[in-house]
Amino acid sequence: MAFCLQQAFGWLANDVVFPVTMMKNPSVLIIFFNETCSATCCFLPCYFIPLYFQYVQDESPLMAGVRLLPFIVFMVATVMVCGSIVSKFGRWLPWFFYGGAMVLTGGALMYTSNKNTSAAKIYGYSILIGSGTGAYIQMPFNACQEFVSPTLIPAAVGLITWAQLAAPAITLSIANAVFLNGAKEALTQILPSGLKDQALTIVSGRGQVSRPENACWLTITRGFGAAAFLALLLLILLITNLPTSVDSGRPASILNLEAPDSIEKPESEPGPEQTLPTPHNGSECSLITCTMLYGAHTYPQLEAAVDSHRRHSERWGCGFQNLEYDLTNRRLYSKQYSILSAILHEMTIPEDQRKEWLMWVDADSIVLNPAISPEHFLPPENLKDIWALLTADKNGLNAGIFYLKVHPNSVDFLTQVVAYPLDYPDVDLGWFGEQAAMSKVLEAMKADPRRRGALAGVAWIPRTWINAYQGEKDFEGKPGDLMVHFAGLGATRLSLMAKWLDELVQHPAKWEVPLDKTRYEKAVPAFWNQFVSNSTRIDCSPEGLKKGRCVEAK
């Protein structure tokens, strides 16, 4: 009781085990109760199926346990199959209906069992229950993350874990009480009065014990009827657009369905104090933002980060491409292959209709200031030979965020990058092999007099303009900067991303700053003026960084 009061009325509402803001979300509560139902049906059959065979069919304890295998095998197999399908297609809600229907059917059939029911029928009934249980005993762990903000994901997962552990403890006690009371009543009707006190110690009475066990199956059947109803209620909530993700900070999307128009892109809808910006230079955006996210890397934080780039591109009328599958079995090289493919595709389009630039952004970067056009950093018209905008840190090139022009030099560069590990198989490129390959190709261009002309078209811009790092403790950027990149972070990356996503929801005005109030308005033109005059004052290449020449114009 004290725990419940502290959780409900604690003054540190966001530091409690189950935050109040999360518990007010009806979808989270529905998923919680669904998990209690599925956990109940996982444990109760494990207890009562062996009892049936031991008491009613006079099996030995060992054989009674063996009779449980069909239930266990089909439950585990269904968990694995469902997990694989959901990972591929992202649709979890149908499994709630499938699981509820299967358990409801299996529980109802199990209720009809008696001392004459064959083992084959019990197997069939238990298979139905096992398959239904496996279909959504793990689904709530995925589903709950859709309805809370990234910072509340650990609390939501903890809530579902608690349901999975606490529900069987309660429901098994209830079912066992029903069984024992029913068994005692049935046994005392057929035993002499002097043996009533010993009724519960008797393990015979085969035909009588089956009836109280049926009452337990009736309890399970009723419970999973309620679970199916809860799944239907959850679907109704989603269809009617109730505020099921008020804390998520991103469009409410379930089953990968498109979010309703009323909540899809709040940033791009003009409000009383917001007007839509016009694309860069007043013309159609000439740029495509490219990224990739798929497979085991599709964490909610990364999905939200990619979505920030998608919305940013849509706001400025730019193209957007997200690679959702591997193009090669070589780690990370799908990035270069996808960019090369996009550039080649654009080059097949008439020059006056094609996009001019591609901007690559890793999935672990988040747009902070959507008021800045991604085109703002491109070179002016009089620098037509510039075909790459790169950034570097103390370790050299960082390939997390960069620009490449739709240009033959970009095609040659990427072709050499993807071919580098094939041409030099003995060179150890390290963990970030594709980034190292890009550096190696640039070094080779510098060493080859025939390719120095192309190298002159590579511009090294100040990294923090487009590629400001979040460290383990501090962010090296400032309000108004375009984006934050979580480069080089290990286990803390997702938690730091979650904090940033929450920060952008809670204080959007702090980070969305108009261009004329940022350093970009003067610094970017100043940089390109220095570039035109061939000044060495601003040199953000790896060599320039070592010599202290990357002095950003203020």
State how far the Cα of 240 lies from the Cα of 236, in Å rounded to an integer.
6
CA distances from 259 to 153, 239, 251, 281 (A): 20, 10, 6, 32
Tokens representing residue 62 in the block: 């060992």
Domain ranges of the chain: 14-239, 283-546
- Are 7 and 17 in contact, with CB atoms under 8 Å apart? yes
Task: Please report which confidence band the pLDDT of residue 534 belongs to, taking 50, 70 and 90 as the band edges.
Answer: low
Average pLDDT across the chain, whole number: 78
**pLDDT value at residue 221:** 55
Quick count: other Cβ atoms within 10 Å of Cβ 544? Answer: 17
Q: Is the pLDDT of residue 8 over 70?
A: no
Residue carrying the six token digits 């511009």: 459
**pLDDT value at residue 137:** 85
CATH of 283-546 given 3.30.56.10, 3.90.1150.180, 1.10.357.10, 3.90.550.10: 3.90.550.10
Cβ-defined contacts of 446-454 (< 8 Å, 24+): 454/387, 454/409, 454/412, 454/413
Please report how the helices 300-315 and 493-506 are oriented relative to each other, as an axis angle in degrees rounded to 10: 50
Please report how the helices 206-239 and 26-51 are oriented relative to each other, as an axis angle in degrees rounded to 10: 160
**pLDDT value at residue 297:** 73
**pLDDT value at residue 273:** 37
State how far the Cα of 338 lies from the Cα of 250, in Å rounded to an integer.
27
Q: Is the pLDDT of residue 468 over 90?
A: yes
Reference 343, options 246, 280, 418; nearest CA is 418
The amino acid occupying position 137 is I
24-31 average pLDDT score = 81
Q: Please state whether the predicted TM-score (pTM) of the whole model is above 0.75.
A: no
Task: Please report which confidence band the pLDDT of residue 232 belongs to, taking 50, 70 and 90 as the band edges.
Answer: low
Q: Say which residue, 296 or 333, is predicted with more confidence.
A: 333
Please work out, in degrees rounded to the nearest 5, the angle formed at the alpha carbon of residue 298 by the alpha carbons of 327 and 231.
130
- Are 41 and 133 in contact, with CB atoms under 8 Å apart? yes
Residue carrying the six token digits 């035109």: 532
State how far the Cα of 19 lies from the Cα of 85, in Å rounded to an integer.
31
Domains 14-239 and 283-546 fall in the same CATH topology = no
Q: Which residues contact 122 (CB under 8 A, 6 or more apart)?
A: 49, 52, 53, 67, 110, 113
The amino acid occupying position 505 is V
In DSSP terms, 360 is beta-bridged to 290, 402
- Are 357 and 505 in contact, with CB atoms under 8 Å apart? no
**What is 14-239's CATH number?**
1.20.1250.20
Cβ-defined contacts of 252-260 (< 8 Å, 24+): 252/146, 252/147, 253/146, 254/93, 254/146, 255/90, 255/91, 255/92, 255/93, 255/94, 256/89, 256/90, 256/91
- Which SS3 state, helix, strand or coil, does residue 321 take? strand
State how far the Cα of 440 lies from the Cα of 540, in Å rounded to an integer.
18
Tokens representing residue 178 in the block: 């029903």
**pLDDT value at residue 551:** 62
Lowest average pLDDT, out of 5-9, 159-163, 303-307, 386-390, goes to 5-9
Q: Say which residue, 247 or 366, is predicted with more confidence.
A: 366
Task: Please report which confidence band the pLDDT of residue 323 belongs to, taking 50, 70 and 90 as the band edges.
Answer: very high
Lowest average pLDDT, out of 316-325, 331-340, 462-471, goes to 331-340
Task: Please report which confidence band the pLDDT of residue 143 belongs to, taking 50, 70 and 90 as the band edges.
Answer: confident
Q: Is the pLDDT of residue 314 over 90?
A: yes
Task: Please report which confidence band the pLDDT of residue 417 belongs to, taking 50, 70 and 90 as the band edges.
Answer: very high
76-104 average pLDDT score = 83
